């Protein structure tokens, strides 16, 4: 039986690039011999060590932690290491379950909104909706995706653009008066009752309009919403919200985009 193996043999055996073995050597995990010709020669013990390294790396254990374990390996140390490994697995399983839940929620959202009727103005009562938001002096329509990503980064532990939270933007009411529908007051993610919040979208009666396609005709859709509000004998009680139900994260087909406009309303003549 051979006692020494070349680097390409171990690399092929473990499905690794030779540079990975050199990296493990650099970090002190492997200790190959150097032959007279300068080539590395690995012992049987290195194969055993590589089995341990691969198993731990597949779990995401840092190289430094693996090195510390290899330096003082014993049954007692292995039992302690397995305890830490189990904790790591529990966290990974929890992360996978959350990812599965988010995937199912995203599927449910797409199925819910894929065939929704667009163009009709309806009215419904909404509860307070907690949200996190990002507000800047001037927010243009073309900047919304960038600012939503910036807001996601600020709340990276709880918010994901590709997750289940509803995201949107509030139109700037002052800019709307002279007919500018490309300015927004803030962008936001709706959050749950026990999650972070910067404010709440107030409870009350909201008129709603779904529209499909690009955002270039926002003013036209807002005017349709406002006419519907008036036809219902209601008045505006705030600026419209855009809620992105189906967007570029879900489809490359612009005609499949679905946006919901919501605006808080009150009975005509009633004080806010």
- Please state the domain extents for the chain: 5-73, 116-267
- Any idea which fold 5-73 has? Multidrug-efflux Transporter Regulator; Chain: A; Domain 2 (1.10.1660)
In this structure, what DSSP letter does residue 239 have? P
Helices (H), 115-162: 144-154
Helices (H), 115-234: 144-154, 173-176, 218-231
Q: Which pLDDT belongs to residue 187?
A: 96
pTM higher than the cut 0.95:
no
Round to whole Å and give the CA distance between 169 and 146: 12
pLDDT tens per residue across all 272 residues of the chain: 567 889 999 999 999 999 999 999 999 999 998 888 878 999 989 999 999 999 888 888 889 999 999 988 899 988 988 898 899 889 989 989 988 998 999 999 999 999 999 999 999 999 999 999 999 888 898 899 999 999 999 998 888 887 788 999 999 998 888 888 999 999 999 998 888 999 999 999 999 999 999 999 999 999 999 999 999 999 999 999 999 999 999 999 999 999 999 999 998 766 65
The highest-level CATH class for domain 116-267 is alpha beta
Q: How many C-alpha atoms does 147 have within 13 Å on its Cβ side?
A: 23
With CA atoms as reference, report the closest residue to 149 among 184, 181, 189, 185.
189
125: helix, coil or strand? strand
Instruction: Tell me the backbone φ, ψ of residue 203, rounded to 5 degrees.
Output: -70, 160
DSSP run (H or E) holding 114: helix 75-114
Q: 223: which residues sit within 8 A by CB, 6+ positions away?
A: none
25: helix, coil or strand? helix
**CA-CA-CA-CA torsion for 225, 193, 185, 257, nearest 10 degrees?**
-50
Q: Which pLDDT belongs to residue 165?
A: 86
Q: Which pLDDT belongs to residue 50?
A: 93
* Strand partners for 192: none
Q: 66: which residues sit within 8 A by CB, 6+ positions away?
A: 29, 52, 53, 56, 57
39: helix, coil or strand? coil
């Amino acid at each position: 039986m051979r006692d020494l193996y070349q680097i390409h043999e171990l690399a092929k055996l473990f499905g690794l690039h030779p540079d990975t073995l050199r990296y493990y050597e650099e970090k002190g995990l492997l200790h190959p011999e150097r032959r007279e010709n300068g080539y590395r020669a690995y012992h049987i013990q290195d194969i055993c060590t590589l089995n341990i390294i691969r198993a731990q790396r597949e779990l995401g254990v840092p190289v430094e932690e693996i090195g510390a374990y290899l330096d003082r390996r014993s049954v007692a140390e292995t039992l302690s290491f397995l305890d830490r490994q189990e904790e790591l697995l529990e966290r990974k399983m929890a992360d996978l379950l959350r990812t599965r839940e988010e995937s199912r929620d995203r599927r449910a959202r797409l199925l819910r909104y894929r065939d929704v009727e667009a163009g009709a103005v309806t009215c419904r009562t909404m509860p307070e909706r907690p949200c996190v938001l990002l507000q800047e002096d001037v927010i243009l329509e073309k900047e919304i995706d960038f600012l939503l990503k910036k807001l996601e980064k600020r709340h990276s532990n709880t918010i994901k653009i590709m997750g289940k939270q509803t995201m949107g933007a509030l139109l700037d009411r002052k800019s709307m008066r002279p007919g500018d529908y490309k300015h927004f007051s803030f962008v936001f993610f709706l959050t749950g009752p026990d999650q972070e919040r910067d404010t709440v979208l107030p409870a009350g009666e909201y008129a709603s309009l779904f529209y499909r396609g690009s955002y270039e005709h926002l003013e036209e859709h807002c005017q349709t919403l406002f006419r519907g509000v008036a036809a219902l004998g209601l008045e505006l009680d705030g600026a419209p919200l855009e809620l992105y139900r189906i967007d570029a994260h879900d489809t490359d087909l612009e005609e499949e985009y679905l946006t919901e406009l919501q605006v808080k309303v009150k009975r005509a003549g009633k004080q806010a």
